[in-house]
Chains A and B, each alone.
Chain A
């Protein structure tokens, strides 16, 4: 029997099948044509059965080697084609990353609220509780109890809205001090944030504005403690390097009274329009609670002493945010509100 198998022929046939292969689909088809049950190799393996033992051995080895290498080659090609396919799919997910994103639509708190919250945060951390009182107040609480009797020149300092005789729109949040002290014994440690009203409406005044007042009454509260508390507050609000000075002033309900100035945040002390060339900005009024005020609420000034302070929230907001016109707070222009 001289039957032989032409391996070269087999190799050519495989080569002819594989070389035009382009797609994963082609590959699957060719895999079947070559390696499948009715494929090329099956054909040869069937033919091999007809050969004699020696030949079987020789050709069998050859065919199996060729089959293994073809299989490996096709697997390699398959991996490459899958990779290429994946790359092609990925190409389709391309987007223009420079298109605008969808920004969540959030609102903002009014800068006055933000400033209030900041002030309250600092004083809360110093142990002050928040106390409130009515906006429409008795003359007694707004003036008399605070050592501002009728006909007192200090009434000229505050142009008052009257609701009826003896009832006013509070001109400061100080009446809350009196209400709190009337209702409890020392120690007292409160701040009172709120709206206040004065009949004044021009470029630098609004008929309503906001204040935070503070009060601490206890045994042995000292003027130096007032300096300590306010120094901490101011450095927390305006930064640790803020210069500040306490200078004598006059308020009917405190004595000694002190105006607190900070180094101008605009010009850093060189002098500018905002600080009227002084290098300093008035930021709050303060002092030791006047003994008469303590007596008015039934406290004994021989036993306890205290300090009080008050600040304009708009003023602080203007300095923190660099706002140059107080009326901006009340126009409520969205182009203003969205800046803070």
Chain B
């Protein structure tokens, strides 16, 4: 809400700098987002009065005006037709500068010297109006500088009004807050409605309301015989500063009063109303209706309509109809001021997609108690700007609302806020924002809520008001009482944090991607329809193809990040991402699992001046998985993977017991190419919840052996297709004294050959040669009993 200080000043005396005011409003909950300074863009223009208008001797379409500027009267050549003797006008004297840095020079126009120029609003930079000379308001002194005129120098506060404070979408509402800040009481505008005419509203129009829940308060007032022109400058100026566009005097008045008092109004062309009748109805079924913007709208059951004798003339609180719109030829006006059910207006406005200034205020609830005051105010302003005769009286519906009152205990205020405020301080704070105490009781008080405060419903709302006015700054910072609890360690959190630490220490950079993907990712990864990973959770209102479903695995997003970086010149990347994956489920909510994915491409170092790094291969990614398992106490095994997106020869499923907890391997070239990646990528993805479930992070001490360990090396020939893992497992099974089996060489000449180192360790004694020799025999026997394995000697 944009609030011109010059306007605000009519309600409260603003003896405060706008920046200080802005700061204090902000600390009251009305954040001032900007202060816009309005200054005239012209210079050297004074106010003159037309004393005479004479014909130009040489040009029929020009006149020579005698303009009194106080000390002297000057002859000014002018072409405009809208000036009359007695009008006050802006006179730009020689040397003056107008909008657009236009300099006034002495010159003769068709043989008559003119020491200055009368200006239009456009020339002064006040508006786009260039239809005639700007007529200065009568109360401005002749000879004064126009630049000093009220309204031209102003600070406009751009205030972010909290959504529950609809009452502050008006100058009056903000003035009430400012009044409370400055210890003043906001004054309502003073005016005297001229109702000396003989006609009465009751004789001219009838009013009926079928549903007082939809519309408990409605007032119709009338004015006849107006002539519609532009609104006076001061009114247009204020409307413009508030961010609205002036239209004509009648529309501008309704907008002006809405900005001033917060009450939206609607003016009907009286002659367009069939049967001279207004009925507020709730639509029962679909109704077609053309609004004044020329759009055809469909109203449905529940929408509130304003109807005349033949049908709808307005969608209540939202927009009028084309059929009863004010036009340039409108003479007589029926003016509506009302309170409509906020929820109903909100629903209709949302459905129709119309969020007007009026509906915005009706949605939040207007002040039922000032509906008629706003109507009177508007009729008065119409009368003074467009002439005509005000009809006596009004038509109205007035369903009495039950005024709200709330009990609050003093102790609760102090208990909630933690500040020992005096009772009298509480009462006076509340009074300053028009919350009056109906009665004080022993331990509290009952406060009455004014009609404009729809946000105050229970005691906590009142406590908030006390805190707001007392000032949050004055609330001390305290330490909560009560025993300090020690919070239990969250096992999952320890794991996830540990995994991130492990992976970063392995050289992986962490990614954070949106948890969405494109349905095409499922196809790119060749996920079969029978695979649960193809049952993505769809989003009803996605913001784009790439974000249309929730991801069922993380690897697609990791590949996208790899592609992004390769496209920007990177060659060697190690990335990991930990995040949720989502699956459709029969229950009301989909299931969510945490997943960890890591990938590597290129080599460890692009170059180094010695020992160049080899390109990553399967055993690099497998090593990371094995290290992870070791770090989290997880017993894993591998089996050939059937994942369609992996190169089958270089891919493995990762098992914990019988459970598949993930996969690892080389991503197939076709898959990579669909992400625009031309180089090999090794990748693994595991369900982190399963790692937590099957693993353990609790370290347990094992005594350091007091006896030396013994190592023996073995070499075997073996068939190409015999897995080395089988030999290792067999050897491990030979004796508990075997504490390690490692592969230290593998080569192939004619036959594949493998070299193993076995570690023997006893915790009871020093191992003798005899013992180890005996074990060695068993190892050789066991290993060579595997098909295709032979001892190499």
Chain A residues with CB under 8 Å of chain B are 99-100, 102, 105-110, 112-113, 117, 124, 127-130, 134-138, 151, 153-154, 156-157, 161-164, 166-167, 169, 187, 189, 195, 199-201, 206-208, 216, 218-225, 227-229, 231, 245-250, 255-259, 276, 288, 290-291, 301, 305, 329-335, 337-338
Contacts and interface: CB of A to CB of B under 8 A. Distances in A.
A227 B475 contact: yes
Interface stretch (B85-93, B286-294, B462-470): B462-470
Interface in B613-643: none
Given A135-B580, A162-B540, A228-B477, A256 B515 contact: no
A208 B516 contact: yes
A223 B418 contact: yes
Nearest to A249: B29
Contact of A199 (B463, B486, B541, B565): B541
Contacts of A330: 512-514
Contacts of A162: 539-541
A196 to B, nearest CB: 11
B33 A218 contact: no
Given A136-B592, A207-B514, A225-B478, A249 B162 contact: yes
B363 interface: yes
B134 to A, nearest CB: 34
Given A220-B482, A224-B418, A333-B568, 19 more contacts: A106-B505, A107-B503, A107-B504, A107-B506, A109-B510, A135-B582, A154-B163, A167-B588, A169-B539, A187-B482, A189-B487, A201-B543, A220-B481, A222-B478, A224-B475, A247-B31, A248-B472, A250-B29, A250-B164
23 contacts: A107-B510, A109-B504, A117-B497, A130-B487, A151-B346, A153-B363, A162-B541, A167-B589, A224-B419, A225-B418, A227-B475, A228-B477, A228-B478, A246-B475, A250-B163, A250-B164, A256-B464, A259-B31, A288-B460, A291-B458, A332-B511, A333-B564, A334-B573
A136 B582 contact: yes
B417 A224 contact: yes
A124 B490 CA distance: 11
Nearest to B161: A250
B543 A207 contact: yes
Interface string B535-548: 00111111110010
B487 A128 contact: yes
A107 B574 contact: yes
A100 B513 contact: no
Nearest to A194: B580
B468 A256 contact: yes
B485 A187 contact: yes
Contacts of B417: 222-224, 256
Contacts of A154: 163
Contact of A105 (B162, B459, B605): B605
A194 B544 CA distance: 23
A221 B480 contact: yes
**What are the 8 tightest A-B residue pairs by CB atom distance, in nearest-first order?**
A224-B418, A248-B29, A222-B418, A250-B162, A129-B487, A256-B464, A107-B504, A110-B510
Contacts of A99: 609
B746 interface: no
Contacts of B241: none
B488 interface: yes
B488 A199 contact: no
Contacts of B478: 222, 224-225, 227-228
Contact of A127 (B486, B515, B564): B486
Given A187-B485, A222-B415, A135 B592 contact: yes
B590 A199 contact: no
Contacts of B364: 153
Contacts of B582: 135-136
Contacts of A329: 512
Contacts of A200: 543
B482 A218 contact: yes
B682 interface: no
B533 interface: no
Contacts of A246: 472-473, 475
A332 B162 contact: no
